[in-house]
Amino acid sequence: MIYLLLLTLPLLITPQEYDSRIYKDGNPIAGRLNFSMQQGRSIAGIETKPHAWPWMAQLAFFGRHSCGGSLIDRSFVVTAAHCVRNRLRLLKYFTVYIGGHTSLSGQAHKVLNISVHPLYDTVAVHSYDIAIMKISPPVAFNQTIQPISLPLLPPRDNQMCVVAGWGVTQSDGYSSEILREIRVPIIPAYECNSLYYYAGGVHIPSMVCARKEGDFGSCFGDSGGPLMCERAGKWELQGVASWVAGDAFGRCALANRPDVYARVLPVNSFLKVSMFILR
């Protein structure tokens, strides 16, 4: 019955229309990409232009950076399930910051409720690593705070997308004090599950891979942040930073080990039903 509800209820819900265009009223919200790839295996990426990604959210726990997130509605933020699953009884210690550029800046919001995808970590390790949080007070949209659209179609193979977060800039370092971003290509599913990469270890229905070897990569503290891809002039939330295979020394952005993101398109129904129930 619950799966029938997930499939049918979104058809009865009229979604609120928000603008995630690259330009709004003639002013840039999120600029078009310069796809020149940086060399080296640094995980730091580049500093993001302030408010370039106006849906970025930062999840803090006990006042310290924990994970990233994405604003999809005035009252809802999407993040990774592994960021919150073991803390569902500690909601009062969460704070969500929206509209900031430096760490723990912007508007502060309380977390009222969290819904974790029912298939998280069940059909495969890290499968459906998605959660949605209801925040309070609702955000007021402006030129620096806007929601990102949910996807209508999956990302294209080799499409260039963007990842952003406040994660560590060195594998043994501290979380970044400023929002940073990286440009990453979508890796075809057959390639990511090949012997060269994860040898069948990626659950394709719920995961998508990005980043070629030698590029920047996500690392600790970037979990929950968005994999953003452009389609027809709009940015879509195609993935949520989930996991990456490191080595014995905890290093990230390794050769043959692309970053893995939770796919958002297959969980659109879950997100819409959760918003309907929690609203």
CA distances from 209 to 43, 138, 161, 279 (A): 16, 32, 11, 32
Coil vs helix vs strand at 82:
helix
Q: Mark whether 121 is an active-site residue.
A: no
Mean pLDDT throughout 62-90? 96
Mean pLDDT throughout 152-162? 96
pTM for this prediction:
0.83
Structure tokens at 267: 């969980």
In a 13 Å sphere around the CA of 269, the CA atoms on its Cβ side amount to 13
Residue 103 has pLDDT above 60, yes or no: yes
Residue 217 has pLDDT above 80, yes or no: no
d(CA 234, CA 254): 31
d(CA 141, CA 150): 17
Mean pLDDT throughout 125-134? 97
d(CA 239, CA 228): 7
In a 13 Å sphere around the CA of 120, the CA atoms on its Cβ side amount to 20
Helix orientation angle between 2-12 and 268-278, rounded to the nearest 10 degrees: 80
Residue 12 has pLDDT above 80, yes or no: no
**Percent of the chain with pLDDT strictly greater than 90:** 64
E strands of 49-201, at which residues?
Answer: 56-61, 64-73, 76-79, 94-98, 107-116, 131-136, 160-165, 180-187
Mean pLDDT throughout 166-172? 64
Residue 16 has pLDDT above 50, yes or no: no
Domains along the chain? 160-265 (2.40.10.10)
Nearest 10 degrees: Cα torsion 143, 159, 176, 97? 40
Active-site pick, 129, 215, 222, 259: 129
Contact 272, 129 (CB under 8 A): no
- Could you read off the pLDDT of 26-60 as tens digits, one per residue? 444 454 443 332 322 334 578 899 999 999 999 99
Q: Mark whether 82 is an active-site residue.
A: yes
Active-site pick, 82, 109, 117, 126: 82
Mean pLDDT throughout 220-241? 91
**Percent of the chain with pLDDT strictly greater than 70:** 74
Q: Mark whether 194 is an active-site residue.
A: no
Active-site pick, 20, 103, 176, 223: 223
What pLDDT band is residue 252 in, cutting at 50, 70 and 90? low
Please list the residues that pair with 261 across neighbouring strands.
208, 241
Burial of 137 (0-12, 13-18, 19+ CB in 10 A): exposed
